[in-house]
Amino acid sequence: EADIYQTPRYLVIGTGKKITLECSQTMGHDKMYWYQQDPGMELHLIHYSYGVNSTEKGDLSSESTVSRIRTEHFPLTLESARPSHTSQYLCASSESAVSYEQYFGPGTRLTVT
Amino acid sequence: AQSVTQPDIHITVSEGASLELRCNYSYGATPYLFWYVQSPGQGLQLLLKYFSGDTLVQGIKGFEAEFKRSQSSFNLRKPSVHWSDAAEYFCAVGAGYTGGFKTIFGAGTRLFVKA
């Protein structure tokens, strides 16, 4: 069983607020990812990291930012939330590029009012 | 460009009936192929994966998938569906490119199971 955690699971917040979505994994994986998922749509990669102090933007443009100061921790921050940010955010990690298999957290469902 | 197509947005099957979920991919070389399942309110869980070798792959929960290179397909099957299989299923392809790799997910197929 994968050990990857996301908090909060659900968040309702007003426009303009700053929020941080937490993601932690205890598997020692170097690679971590953030996906955005809307109902009936494929997962879109918005950020990824290949290790500490390494972060890259994904295929889908996002106003969020990420940091990777510790291997196990990969938080995502929105400086000023907007209704267009309403979505589900999934965090994942993987052991190596060769295996490609990703382990997912339970997700954070964000609603911006 | 790499892509994954799941033609069926949703499928309804009776409990005990067989199941096949379709997946087609576009990629120039032999891809790494995956099926994930997502239950309501949960993250994705890996069902099975194909890297090389035997084109019929066995996974967890009684699922299997067959890689057909000539058809660029990786369809998921289960001989007898249980009510607990109701979930969303995602096909994915992992592909290398200059500078790294990426995993591309299909839009998903939602499975409904009727008693």
pLDDT digit string, tens, across residues B43-76: 899 999 998 888 999 999 999 999 999 999 999 9
The model's confidence at residue A109, banded by pLDDT at 50, 70 and 90, is: very high
Predicted pLDDT of residue A95: 84
Contact A88, A108 (CB under 8 A): yes
Tokens, residue A29: 């994986």
SS3 state at A99? coil
Predicted pLDDT of residue A22: 98
| Percentage of residues in chain B having pLDDT higher than 70 | 97
Residue position matching structure tokens 């990426």: B102
Query: CB–CB of B101 and A100 under 8 A?
Result: yes
A5 touches chain B (CB under 8 A): no
Chain A's closest residue to B6, CA to CA, is A42
Predicted pLDDT of residue A86: 95
The model's confidence at residue B99, banded by pLDDT at 50, 70 and 90, is: low
pLDDT average, residue stretch B80-89: 97
pLDDT digit string, tens, across residues A23-63: 999 999 999 999 999 877 778 999 999 899 999 998 887 88
Query: CB–CB of A42 and B107 under 8 A?
Result: yes
Q: Judge whether residue B97 has pLDDT over 70.
A: no
If one counts every other C-beta atom within 10 angstroms of the C-beta of residue A99, the result is: 13
A41 touches chain B (CB under 8 A): yes
Query: CB–CB of B44 and A40 under 8 A?
Result: no
Query: CB–CB of B107 and A102 under 8 A?
Result: no
